[in-house]
Structure 1
Amino acid sequence: MLTSGLQHVAAMYAGVVAPPLIVGAAVGLSGTELTFLTGASLFTAGLATFLQTLGVWKIGAKLPFVNGVTFAGVAPMLAIVDTTDNKADALPVIFGAIIVAGLLGFAAAPFFSRLVRFFPPVVTGTVITLIGVSLLPVAFGWAQGPNPAAKDYGSTTYLSLAGITLVVVLLLRRFTRGFLKQVAVLVGLVLGTLIAIPFGVTDFTPVQEADIVGFPSPFHFGAPQFALAAIISMCVVMLVSMTESTADMLALGEIVERPADEKTIAAGLRADTLGSALSPLFNGFMCSAFAQNIGLVAMTRIRSRFVVAAGGGFLVLMGLSPVAASLISVVPRPVLGGAGVVLFGSVAASGIQTLVKAGLEKDNNVLIVAVSLAVGIIPITKPDFYHAFPETAQIILDSGISTGCVAAVLLNVVFNHLGRGRDADEVTAPMEPGDEISGSASAKAAHVH
């Protein structure tokens, strides 16, 4: 449980620390303050993971979900920093906006969850595939090195380290059994890091400079401030985050063979939004489910939510001990990139498996998948495609998962629900908890009707 939980932390660590590093640098924080802000994000990610996996009352999907800082909020937070006259007030304004957005999202969770009826296999399969495809460029970026502006970015050294890590993970998965097979990604990261030492890529400086103990004191950067423009901006981010979390829960539900129903999604969204509302108390940002960890569940087939809760425990400890947090940061980006190819590719493969059962022999469903994938891939292949749109609209449009999800839902309604285009079979009905993923079409149709 502990090693598998640590494997989840290793898979999502870079995604958690990147937003606070970017925003903190924009605010002009010192190195010490940046370390504090990063530790706070790890600590609050652990608390949010506890909420999601263990659950309290009707809060938490109780699925093997890791929660952390959502990257969707980075652009609007940078915009808030740019429009704040006194940079010292930027973080309090951001934290105030996140608190309000989190509370409003918590209230809206049960209504938002009712959208699950519009997520049949043809929609969920498309969205799951998009999640994997959208994450793969992140792995490719890691494989090229830590600094895109550096001369050695994308060098053969970096790409070779990524390739070696990938090969190690694949060999372990193919030729080992039991425990070693389940922690293949973690072993791959350790071996990749050791191999990187002679190349001078592994940096142990963060470990040497980190403190042993450090608690994220509440409102360290000042009491939250509430600015209307910032609140509206973060509410839009919250809607995007809730859309992606819904898609992630549907994806993970398929992988663990426990399809997420309306009740599960509502509980999961409550955990996301409450975690976001509480996060600024300890100087953290908006939290959301991490899609990259879905790939780890898909690959290892370890479906226990308590394993992920153990990962949440590691995140809390890292937040309380900067030196522990720095150990994960030692893993070079190219090594993370090699492992990420397997993790994120597994998510896309799970989406394809779902699409196989989605009735693609019907022309309507082929069109839904084709157009939705195209719309979702736009921000990946052409990042500046929506540059002429208002900044608020770009927050939504620049997320391929969100745009592809919306397109799939709307097209499914038009082709399979409205007028004569509606097909009365399983491909238009949402996945129910009692449905067998591999069951026959007639059995599913009988269950739905």
Structure 2
Amino acid sequence: MAQWPRFRKDVVAASAEAEEKHPVDETLPALKMFTSGLQHVAAMYAGVVAPPMIVGPAVGLSPSQTAFLMGASLFTAGICTLLQTLGFWRVGAKLPFVNGVSFAGVTPMIAIGKGEGESAIPVIFGAIIVAGLLGFFAAPYFGKLVRFFPPVVTGTVITLIGVSLLPVAFNWSQGGNSVADDYGSTTNVTMAALTFVIVLLMRKLLRGFLQQIAILLGLLAGTLIAIPVGITDFSAIGQADLVGFPAPFHFGAPQFQIAAIISMCIVMLVCMTESTADILALGKIVGRPADQRTIEGGLRADTLGSALSPFFNGFMCSAFAQNIGLVAMTKVRSRFVVAAGGGILILLGLCPVAASVIALVPLPVLGGAGIVLFGSVAASGIQTLAGASMEKGENALIVAASLGVGLIPIAAPNFYHSFPEDLLVVLDSGISTGCVVAIALNLAFNHLGSRKSAAAAPEVAAAH
């Protein structure tokens, strides 16, 4: 009996610890974990398979080889997502952070392998491996930049992330393929609008768990409605194998060419810049502000995942901003939910038939839901800017200039058409250009010289 007080104290301490657990570290019931994870997969699926769908034919791969790349991309996206959410040592942001194939690498990869066919893939993979390893060792230096991301910078970048993603949703709403006969048809746009309305109604009328998975339910409802309309394609199911593993180096051993390596290293820097902004944005949304160590861990997961992906025939991986919008909308902040999504991605990569079922969701349906998702990201950025002391110093000017520059690739996609292709990797990303301008102007107005704002200090402190 003498040990009872100590035992009781331990129980009370354990109970208090459980009550203090941050929502990011909570584990949910199995069904809720699975359905919420599946919702993340549904939101990102098109973004994961789109780069290999574009790169494969562009470098001369056959349809079957391109399909193999798509399955491999799902598999490696799952591995990278597990690195981010669960992590080990100092790898992983340990936030509900989804990783997938980066769009930033599409143009350079096409330039590297155009017309080379299957022989181009080993060169691309070799360049990605080197860029990933270099990025891994550079991650601690990027982590030190956190003090240069006060609310005036993070709010601007989060807003740009949301606005930059909206054209993707608009393209999906029209059908996704600009050369298709039905691109922008009344049927496609109507289906997108119908899904958009269904998602909003479900968010308004449903309660509890059902409200949290409103996006998934909206996608399901939109897909069912699309079947009699005739825009749901079932052919992928009949052509898919039941089991398939992305055999290591399916296209041959990696090759290392200096020009390709330089090109992909530039892409890696762009991805690290965007991931830093995404980590800061997500940390703000889930109520666990990202510090230097979190950013370092997140970037290590990004870059290590990118270096490992080519072993399983995958491309460079980075943060998926659209899933940040899903976290903001559903309020489900558990990183284990996203880890469950990573597990689902791995299974989809190993089971082409299961992957093809997810692919049944027509792009117009996905686009209608995407408008709500991506708009939620922009709204989070605006909310962050509301606390950025816009009335003091030059903060309003920083936001105005950064948004203006960041919107150029969106409003005028051909604005930089005469610039060298290597520069287009950065210039064609409004997130990257807007982020660079916001950081530079914040340094100039709030850190350097006699014009340093008195309001800057609390903002910078808030970023830590």
One-letter amino acid of the counterpart of residue 56, structure 1: F
**Aligned-residue offset at 1:29:** 1.9
Out of 76, 85, 89, the position equivalent to 1:53 is 85
Q: CA deviation at 1:328?
A: 1.1
Match of 2:258 among 228, 237, 243: 228
Contact 1:122 1:427 in 2 (8 A): no
Aligned partners of 1:226 and 1:87: how far apart in 2? Answer: 17
- CA–CA separation in structure 1 for the residues paired with 2:240 and 2:256: 33
Match of 1:440 in 2: none
Partner of 2:279: 249
* Match 2:342 to one of 312, 331, 338: 312
Residue 80 of structure 1, aligned match among 88, 93, 112: 112
SS of match in other structure, 1:429: helix
1:273 equivalent among 303, 306, 323: 303
Letter in 2 for 1:316: I
Local SS of the residue matching 1:68: strand
What is the Cα deviation at residue 27 of structure 1? 2.3
- CA–CA distance in 2 between the matches of 1:374 and 1:125? 14
RMSD: 1.0
User: Quick one: which amino acid aligns to residue 32 of structure 1?
Assistant: S
Aligned: 1:399 with 2:429: yes
Asked if residue 71 in structure 1 is aligned to residue 103 in structure 2, the reply is: yes
How many angstroms does 1:430 deviate by? 4.7
| 2:394 match: secondary structure | helix
Specify the SS of the correspondent of 1:431.
Answer: helix
Q: Which amino acid aligns with 1:224?
A: P
In structure 1, the gaps of 5 or more residues are 434-449
TM-score by length of 1: 0.95
Q: Which amino acid aligns with 2:370?
A: G
Name 1:24's counterpart in structure 2: 56
Residue among 370, 374, 377 paired with 2:400 = 370
Larger radius of gyration: 2
2:442 aligns to what? Answer: 412
TM-score, normalization by structure 2: 0.92
Distance 1:247 1:403 in 2: 12
Tell me, yes or no, if the aligned pair for 2:278 and 2:321 is still in contact at 8 Å: yes
Whether the 8 Å contact between 1:146 and 1:333 is mirrored in structure 2 is yes
- Partners of 2:393 and 2:454 within 8 A in 1: no
Structure 1 distance, partners of 2:157, 2:350, is 36
* Aligned residue number for residue 5 of structure 1: 37
Q: CA deviation at 1:424?
A: 3.2
Distance 1:315 1:60 in 2: 18
Contact 2:155-2:385 within 8 A present in 1 as well: yes
On the 8 A contact 1:121/1:430 being kept in 2, the answer is: no
Q: Partner of 1:133: helix, strand, or coil?
A: helix
- Which residue, out of 325, 329, 354, partners 1:299? 329
Residue 152 of structure 1 deviates from its aligned partner by: 2.2
Contact in 1 for aligned 2:322/2:373 (Cα 8 Å): yes
Paired residue secondary structure (1:244): helix
Quote the Cα distance in structure 1 between the aligned partners of 2:142 and 2:40: 28
Query: Given that residues 124 and 351 in structure 1 are in contact (C-alpha distance below 8 angstroms), is that contact kept between their aligned partners in structure 2?
Result: yes
Retained in 2: the 8 A contact 1:417–1:428? no
Partner of 1:431 in structure 2?
Answer: 462
Q: CA-to-partner distance for each residue in 1:120-145, whole Å, 9 max, x for gaps?
A: 00000000000000000000110011
8 A Cα contact 2:112 2:124, kept in partner: yes
Equivalent of residue 119 in structure 1, options 135, 149, 155: 149
Return the letter of the residue paired with 1:394: L
Contact 1:2 1:310 in 2 (8 A): yes
5+ residue gaps, structure 2, are 1-32
Q: Confirm whether residue 339 of structure 1 aligns to residue 369 of structure 2.
A: yes
What's 2:218 paired with?
A: 188
Structure-1 residue corresponding to 2:176: 146
Q: CA deviation at 1:231?
A: 0.0
Q: Deviations over 1:154-193 (max 9, x none)?
A: 1111111111111111111111111110100000000000
Q: Compute the displacement of 1:387 (Å).
A: 1.2
Cα distance in 2, alignment partners of residues 274 and 113 from structure 1: 15
Which amino acid in structure 1 is aligned with residue 244 of structure 2?
A: G
Cα distance, 1:151 vs. partner? 2.8
1:443 aligned partner: none
Number of residues of Structure 1 aligned to a counterpart in Structure 2: 431
CA contact (8 A) 2:195 2:368 kept: yes
Residue number among 204, 210, 231 corresponding to 1:201 in the alignment: 231
CA distance in 1, matches of 2:390, 2:89: 40
* Equivalent residue, structure 2, for 1:159: 189
Specify which of 174, 190, 194 is matched with residue 204 of structure 2.
174
Q: Per-residue CA shift, 1:276-296, capped at 9, x if unaligned?
A: 000000000000010000000
Residue in 1 aligned with 2:24? none
- Corresponding position of 2:357: 327
Q: Is the 8 A contact 1:54 1:62 kept in 2?
A: yes
Identity %: 71
Find 1:258's aligned residue among 271, 278, 288.
288
Per-residue deviation at 1:273? 0.1
Residues 174-221 of structure 1 deviation map (CA, whole Å, 9 limit, x = unaligned): 111111101000000000001011111001110111000000000000
CA distance in 2, matches of 1:430, 1:8: 32
Q: Secondary structure at the match of 1:295?
A: helix
Deviations 1:1-28, CA, capped at 9 Å, x for gaps: 1000000000000100011111111222
Q: Which moved more, 1:138-147 or 1:51-60?
A: 138-147
Residue 380 (structure 2) aligns with: 350
How far, CA to CA, are the matches of 2:219 and 2:231 in structure 1?
A: 14
Q: Do 1:119 and 1:431's aligned partners in 2 also have CA atoms closer than 8 Å?
A: no
Report the 3-state secondary structure (helix = DSSP H, G, I; strand = E; otherwise coil) of the residue aligned with 2:318. Answer: strand
Secondary structure in 2 aligned to 1:43?
helix
